């Protein structure tokens, strides 16, 4: 394909994705605006990973819903990044605070790799899910510092919950730095493999799933998991597609 053809195609490709598709079909130097935009996106991604979550703000945004302040075995951010295994388990003091109340659903918010995603979306997703699932009892929301997805298994097991949903900040990219992921697990136990989970990712406002669509999908998956007694490879989103009106 010639350079002229690529030049003609570039605007159409850019309209389909927030990714940096092509800056200069002739191969010239990047314009200053593109360089500054790249540097700003890179800084936002680094901040998303390194900045701590404002847990007081998250707790306040839960609107009085009971919560638990917990911490993984990763003592600080550097340890969390270097030792993923420590982020998958609670420290002893945190585990002792989890009471066996037997809710239908255990909800966990973990910082993961994007504090911005947690601050922007987590509490709103909890509210949307609670409204979408009025028939279910939900335990106190576990707020986990330096937590990874699997930390929810230990929390739900200690609570005696048959289902666990972990809302966690996803690894930021240069297009989106506030993307939230949601991981659903049936009969969670320490050591549960990832093949036993369902993931709903890209919950964000920049071309991703908005809160209404994400909570609708998750509510469907939660109800189906309770019906069939399974998540992961056994659970699919098999709803009939909604076609646009003619």
More confident residue, 41 or 219: 219
Phi and psi at residue 202, to the nearest 5° = 60, 45
Largest Cα span, the chain: 66
- The residue ranges of every structural domain in the chain are 55-234
Give the pLDDT confidence score for residue 22 in this predicted structure: 64
Average pLDDT of 124-146? 97
> β-strands 141-145, 163-169: how paired?
unpaired
More confident residue, 220 or 21: 220
Residue 132's closest CA among 86, 182, 175? 182
* Integer Cα distance of 163 and 123 in angstroms: 19
| Count of Cβ atoms closer than 10 Å to residue 75 Cβ | 14
Residue 49 banded pLDDT, cuts 50, 70, 90:
confident
CATH class of 55-234: alpha beta
Residue 176's closest CA among 33, 44, 6, 62? 44
* Integer Cα distance of 166 and 181 in angstroms: 8
Give the pLDDT confidence score for residue 38 in this predicted structure: 65
* Integer Cα distance of 147 and 196 in angstroms: 19
Residue 57, both tokens: 């703000």
For residue 105, give every residue at least 6 positions away whose Cβ sits within 8 Å of its Cβ, in sequence order, or none: 133, 136, 137, 138, 139, 161, 163, 164, 165, 222
pLDDT, one tens digit per residue, over 148-197 is: 999 999 999 999 999 999 999 998 665 678 899 999 999 999 999 999 99
Give the pLDDT confidence score for residue 243 in this predicted structure: 52
Return the DSSP state at 208. Answer: S
Give pTM, 2 decimals.
0.84
pLDDT, one tens digit per residue, over 63-101 is: 999 999 999 999 999 999 999 999 999 999 999 999 999
Percent of the chain topping pLDDT 90: 69
pLDDT, one tens digit per residue, over 205-223 is: 888 899 999 999 999 999 9
Give the pLDDT confidence score for residue 21 in this predicted structure: 67
Give the pLDDT confidence score for residue 1 in this predicted structure: 47
More confident residue, 119 or 15: 119
Residue 152's closest CA among 114, 181, 121, 115? 181
- Report the DSSP beta bridge partners of residue 90: 72
Conformational region of residue 107, where left means phi above 0, alpha means psi within -120 to 50, and beta covers everything else = beta
Q: Is the pLDDT of residue 139 over 90?
A: yes
């Amino acid at each position: 394909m010639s350079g002229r053809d690529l030049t003609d195609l570039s605007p159409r490709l850019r309209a389909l994705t927030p990714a940096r598709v092509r800056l200069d079909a002739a191969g010239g130097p990047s314009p200053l605006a593109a360089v500054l935009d790249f540097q700003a996106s890179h800084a936002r991604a680094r901040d998303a990973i390194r900045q701590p979550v404002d847990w007081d703000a998250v707790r306040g945004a839960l609107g009085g819903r009971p919560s638990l302040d917990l911490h993984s075995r990763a003592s600080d951010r550097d340890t969390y990044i270097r030792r993923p295994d420590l982020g998958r388990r609670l420290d002893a003091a945190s585990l002792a605070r989890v009471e066996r109340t037997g809710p239908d659903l255990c909800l966990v918010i973990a910082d993961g790799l994007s504090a911005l995603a947690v601050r922007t979306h987590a509490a709103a997703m909890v509210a949307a899910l609670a409204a979408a699932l009025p028939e279910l009892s939900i335990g106190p929301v576990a707020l986990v510092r330096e937590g990874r997805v699997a930390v929810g298994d230990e929390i739900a097991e200690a609570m005696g919950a048959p289902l666990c949903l972990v809302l966690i900040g996803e690894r930021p990219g240069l297009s989106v730095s506030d993307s939230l992921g949601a991981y659903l697990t049936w009969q969670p136990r320490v050591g549960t493999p990832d093949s036993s989970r369902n993931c709903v990712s890209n919950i964000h406002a920049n071309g991703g799933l908005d809160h209404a669509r994400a909570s609708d999908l998750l509510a469907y998956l939660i109800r189906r998991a309770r019906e069939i007694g399974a998540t992961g490879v056994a659970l699919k989103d098999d709803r009939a597609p909604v076609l646009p009106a003619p």
